[in-house]
Every structure is written in structure tokens, then in C-alpha cells.
Amino acid sequence: MEIASEKQSAVIEHKSYARVGLLGNPSDVYFGNTISFSLGNFWASVRLEPSTDLVIVPHPSHDLVQFNSISHLVNRLQNEGYYGGVRLLMAICKIFHKYCKENNVTLHDGNFTLSYETNIPRQTGLSGSSAIVSAALSCLLDFYKVRHLIKVEVRPNLVLNAEKELGIVAGLQDRVAQVYGGLVYMDFGKNHMDELGHGIYTPMDVDLLPPLYLIYAENPSDSGKVHSTVRQRWLDGDEFIRSTMEEVANIAVEGRKTLLEKDYIKLAALMNHNFDLRRRMFGDDALGAMNIEMVEIARRVGAASKFTGSGGAVVVFCPDGHSQVKQLEDACHSAGFSFQPIKVMPSFLNDIDCQTLGSK
């Protein structure tokens, strides 16, 4: 019994939550500013258990390799795609090891078994992939006892680099929200990014937020395809894209002040304007009819709405209160969309994490 108890105590588990980009996205990829928060409705959890060999455990449903028939296999691929979480866990192990080696962080020789669970809906722009990676990174920090040696500000870069290894198109915003937890204002100004290698991240009080709601589709489009043409045009110096993206970034700057003042009428206007600017840049074909309908369904009842990420889910504020919420809920159910109140998770940085903040 004693041996079993010791083994149990050596097991490390971490959760990482979905995130909502409230204002300023997608300017995080363009040296802009954003405000995001941790969404407690959905999460990924990773479990690390010491073992003789290093083992990455395939998930019984997300990494399925056994099927009833070829039709079952084809349907599965059409709905879920080719990739589960195993590749994500492998990638963060590689990136973590590389970072430690390059920064003279010594790792002990022990091995481990990694497994994961997730209930984050796929391709909803709620950062399901990075949640798995972020939770795994936390496990690695604790297993190797190096949490105090790797700055909190650097950790989102490690998560993003793991995803970049796999060709996932993304920015730092989501990873910052998942590493820090709570409500965070982010400044990705070029001078910070060039000098520090990361942005300036300022936690805010989650109580500044009004009640918010989530709309999402059960079968959304792939969020990874939405950035493509705008990114190239921005790199090419397209004046319209550059100036509009700057305007999007400024929405987060204004939004920070708006939240601190609890001016929720202004917040509603900023949320709507954020989406309108995105729509102007990307165009309806890139955004997708279903994604646009989720925004419009909220607007038809007078609510403010915008994408949580790149599409697949929408964050909504109902300034007129309960009757408006009920009206929207009914409209979503009629249209076949999922609708639920948003639960905001507070920051989950511990004392060791906080001691690394801003350290050299």
C-alpha cells in the first residue's frame, strides 16, 4: 500500500482552459494588442506519471486507429481530421528539451508516461490544441522541477513553437491566456517583441467583465485557414490591411480603459466594431457563412458579438439583460447552435510562477 501511495503522489496533472479573445484579435500576429480570458466551460487535462520508458499514450477516441469499417474511418476523418493530441505532446517535449538545452537548464534522467483528456469542441476557435500543449508544459515544469527557471512570459512562446513545429497557424494571444489564466491585456508591440522576444502581459481583475455568453457550432470550419491571405497582404505592406489591423489593435487599448471604467455600452460597441473590421479585411468567403450567421443571430436581438478566435465560436454581450439573453438562447436553439453562459476562470499562476514574472 505504501509503494502504491508513493507512486500516486508522484503523478502530476494539470488543466488548461479554452480561451476567448475578447478584443483586439487577430492583431496579436501583427504587433498589436489584445484582451483575452480563460474560458472555464471547456478544458484539456494532461497527466504525467513517472515510468521506466518515455510513453505518449494515444487517446482512445481522439487518436483512434481502430475502426468498424472503411466507411467508419472515412466518416471519422471527415468530421475529426487526421490529427489527435499525440503529435502535440511529442512536439512540446521536443521544444521544452531544446529550450532547456539552449538555456543551460539541467534536466534529470527520469522518464514518464503522458496522457491527455479534452472536452474543448474541435475547430471552434477556442484554442483546443494549445490547451493540450499548455497543460503538458506545466506537467514537464513540475516533473523536472524547473518551474522557477523558466519565466512565465517565455512559456507561451514554447507552446506556440510546439504548434509551429506541426504547421499550426496561430499567434501568441491564446497561449498567453492559457499560461496566465484569468483576464489579460497583451501588448505585442514590435519593440517589445524584438527586444524581449515576447509581449508585455498585464493581468486584469476578472470581476471587471460583465456577464458574457458563448455561441458555437457543432460542425464548424477549420480556424487555421482564416489568416492566410490577410497575412501575406500585411507582409507585402498592403496599406488597407496595415491601417485596419492597427485600428483593431487600438480597440484593445480602448477596451482596457472601458473595462476599468465598467463602461459596458462602450464595450458592446467595441466588440461589434472589432468584428466589422475583421470582416472588412478577410471578406465573407474566408470567414464562412455559418460563422457570420452566429454573429448576426446575436446582433438581430440587439446583442454585441464577435469571434472568440478565427471562427467556429462567438462571444456575446447582452446589454439589455435577461430578456435579451432568453431571446438569443431561443434563436440559437432554433438555428441549431449551442449557447451557454461563459464561466471566466481566475488566474492560476502560483507563487513560484509569480516570482519569475519580469525577472531577468
353 catalytic residue (yes or no): no
Options 174, 238, 320, 330, the catalytic residue:
174
| 271 within 8 A of 317, measured Cβ to Cβ | yes
**Residue found under cell 498589436:** 32
Four-residue CA torsion sign, 280, 286, 287, 292: positive
What are the distances in angstroms from CA 294 to CA 111, 288, 290, 300? 46, 10, 6, 10
- Residues with catalytic function: 174
